[in-house]
Amino acid sequence: MKMRVMVAGCDDWLQVTARQYLERSGCQVVTADDALDCIEKVLANPPDVIVVQDGLLWGNSDGLLERLRDEPDVAGKPVLLILDESSGEDISQISKAPVVACLRRPFPMSELLPRLTSLASDGVARDGAAAAPQQRDFSTSSKTTNEGEQT
């Protein structure tokens, strides 16, 4: 069964590149341009895992994450948060459910699939807390490749 992934990003690069990479890897991918579009699509057809770029329009990522926590049908879905390299976000401040992992741009696109696969298989407990502490992955990356795999 294909892993279903929602990619909510505010730039075309993340949406197009992540979608192409994940689809080539056998995933079913749906994209959203903003927080409202994302929540609408997630509620209509809950994915296995959600990728959210910090700074989404129309509700921002904070508003989206809060809404995801409040929706019973998707409260247990794991979220991978993408932070910009220049983001001053303190990861400890955003490291609460449903966010179970973070990546800081730039990172090689090849890092995305293993993280999503792990998140989808581990999942998140129904109460919105991580199923086990070792599943929370807030390491960030600053690697790039010559193949344009950074996000």
Tokens of 53: 């770029």
Exposure class string for 57-68: b at 16+ Cβ within 10 A, else e: eebbbeebbebb
What is the spatial distance between Cα 49 and Cα 53, in angstroms, rounded to a whole number? 13
- Condensed to tens digits (0 to 9), the pLDDT of residues 92-111 reads 545 566 788 888 888 898 99
> pTM for the full model?
0.77
Quick one: which of 63, 91, 77 has its CA closest to 119? 77
Residue found by looking up tokens 């929602």 in the block: 6
- Condensed to tens digits (0 to 9), the pLDDT of residues 1-22 reads 799 999 998 888 888 999 999 9
In the prediction, which pLDDT does 19 show?
94
Name the pLDDT band for 38 (thresholds 50, 70, 90). Answer: very high
